[in-house]
Homo-oligomer: A and B are copies of this chain.
Amino acid sequence: MPFMISKPMRFGDCDLTGIAYHPAYLSMLVDVNEAMFASFGVTWKELMFERHLGLPSVKMTIEFKKPAVYGDVLDFNVHVRKIGKSSLDLYTVVKVGEDVIWTIEQLIVMTSTKDHKSHPWPDDCRAGLERYHHPELAA
């Protein structure tokens, strides 16, 4: 099963042509990434401030398929494609109803905020991420 969460298109997420301002999509994605970790009991606050670990994205490939408009509800479906030693390969499909609005492939690396080097996944993160693991989707 993917991790699933819905986000409304807010007034402030739209540009003056009435469709989504694409940087707002990336801001929603940060919330979605954070919510996925919270779903298995790991808060980013604790990761950052107590364990001194961060989760920077190192690569993103985004496809915008159809425009979304004010009032649409975006359904995020986050698939874990691969869990490496300290990396995470996510594939997220964002829909409004049955229509695919945008998709993103995202490579994240768990990183120490002390020396900015990669850091192996802690056991609780790895176990949590396994819930959403779909190895058949790996590129």
Contact = CB atoms under 8 A, between A and B. Distances in A.
Contacts of A61: 59-62
B22 A57 contact: yes
A11 B34 contact: yes
Contact of A67 (B11, B27, B48, B116): B116
A48 B18 CA distance: 11
A14 interface: yes
Given A43-B71, A59-B63, A14 B16 contact: yes
A24 B16 CA distance: 13
A78 B116 CA distance: 28
Given A10-B34, A11-B44, A22-B30, 20 more contacts: A11-B16, A12-B15, A12-B23, A12-B27, A15-B16, A16-B16, A16-B17, A16-B18, A19-B56, A21-B30, A22-B26, A22-B57, A26-B26, A45-B70, A56-B67, A58-B63, A58-B64, A59-B64, A61-B61, A61-B62
26 contacts: A10-B34, A11-B15, A11-B16, A11-B30, A11-B31, A14-B16, A16-B16, A16-B48, A16-B70, A17-B54, A19-B56, A21-B30, A22-B30, A23-B24, A23-B26, A23-B30, A45-B70, A45-B71, A58-B64, A59-B61, A59-B62, A59-B64, A60-B61, A61-B61, A62-B62, A67-B116
